[in-house]
Structure 1
Amino acid sequence: MEQIHINATRCPFCTSAVKERETKSEITTETVTVNRDQICKDKQRLFDTAESLGFKVDSHPGLSRFTFIKDGKSFDFFDVDKAKDFLVASKK
């Protein structure tokens, strides 16, 4: 259960876009935990896919940045969706 800044548009831990804010009365601990768990699972699947394509994955703790490395080239991402698009294109 990590906190993020109220004005954040991206999660600093997993880089996912932060959806429109709900009022505090609408947020429950269970919802936050489930959402964070799902985001972490999605990010892990992304890393597993990158590794299966021969990329070394370097995740930067505390930062919302991660890097795929292959054949001496580094590809930095702050956005999970852009990283997914990159991996789809790498499969071709």
Structure 2
Amino acid sequence: MNLDIGTLANAFPDYELSTAPRPDGGYVLTLEREGKSFQRVVPRIGAAAQLDWLISTLKRDLALEFGEVPPVESLKVLHRKPLPRYLRA
């Protein structure tokens, strides 16, 4: 299953979403809003449940990144490893 860009865009309507493919089959996903950029490495998605997990994890990470309280449903995935990210120098 390929990354469903439409579903991701609908989950983050306030953000401009872009992706870049990675050689391992995953993507570098970038969400931008008001000059702020949020970037994560997204693994290859194999099932719809993984897409739900991805959206929940991204919502949690976005909230934490910008000093907000994460949505309650996104806290259910805290036991899982966070998505990798690139740090800009």
TM-score category of the 2 structures, normalised to the smaller one: 0.3 to 0.5
TM-score normalised by the chain length of structure 1? 0.36
* Higher gyration radius (CA): 1
Relative to total residues, which structure has the larger strand share, 1 or 2?
A: 2
Relative to total residues, which structure has the larger helix share, 1 or 2?
A: 1
